[in-house]
Structure 1
């Protein structure tokens, strides 16, 4: 519940970004799996966004928005820190996490210093943008 409360505070203009990131890092999220059982992702703005969901209901909303509500969805559970510190680093380019993207309060965790490790943060100048 802490993550939902932090997101709500951000949407109400009274949130603390650092507290939000910490709440995400400590939370367990669902990550749908795509080809070769890799985390499902999409690209927007030159960034690879790994889809993550705070609940099965949020994942179901995502499936419905894609017109795939009847499909069976395999997913893995991850702690937020593992997505940000390990999975993002394995992408091989700019990557972040898109949480609950089809829900009423989506939240993006972009590849910037303080969210992802400095070696893969786009604002640290270490990532190739080619």
Structure 2
């Protein structure tokens, strides 16, 4: 299954967390670049967590752009594996960070929080060892 299908199955109560995370890690995602920030990925902070935005395709990114009232401008983005986002980028963020996929799609969005099994252990907020 593709990531969007795994998200739909999970949201419908038919999915398995392990399959969902596996598909997320294998998926090539589009991570928009923050306008005016050299190489910075677009993100937002909610609940003390920095959420990196990622999209499964250009159509999902375009829906996000329109929802932000910026559908008329060109959006630069980085094509990156989900695994690379969590294994290489999340550890570079100051504080807890996760990935929010297809955030403009009410019934097709999914968050991958900074917890064990998704992000590197050292970045997980639910680890039990002393940091």
**TM-score of Structure 1 vs Structure 2, range by shorter chain:** over 0.9
Indicate the residue corresponding to 1:64 in structure 2: 66
CA 127–14 in structure 1, closer or farther in 2 if over 3 Å, else same: farther
Q: Distance in 2 between matches of 1:69 and 1:37?
A: 21
Structure-1 residue corresponding to 2:115: 112
Question: How many residue pairs end up in the alignment?
Answer: 128
**Root mean square deviation, CA, Å:** 1.5
Q: Given the alignment, which residue of 108, 117, 125 partners 1:122? A: 125
TM-score, normalised with respect to structure 2: 0.93
Distance of aligned partners of 1:21 and 1:125 in 2 relative to their CA distance in 1, 3 Å threshold:
same
Runs of 4+ in 1 over 3 A off after TM superposition: 125-128
Aligned to 1:4: 4
CA contact (8 A) 1:93 1:127 kept: no
Which structure 2 residue ranges, 5 or more long, are not aligned? Answer: none
Counterparts of 1:34-113 in structure 2 under 5 Å?
A: 34=34, 35-103=37-105, 104-113=107-116
**Secondary structure class of the residue paired with 2:126:** helix
Following superposition, the deviation at residue 124 of structure 1 comes to: 1.2
TM-score (norm 1): 0.93
Aligned equivalents of 1:47, 1:22: Cα separation in 2? 22
Mapped contact 1:26–1:81 kept (Cα < 8 A):
yes
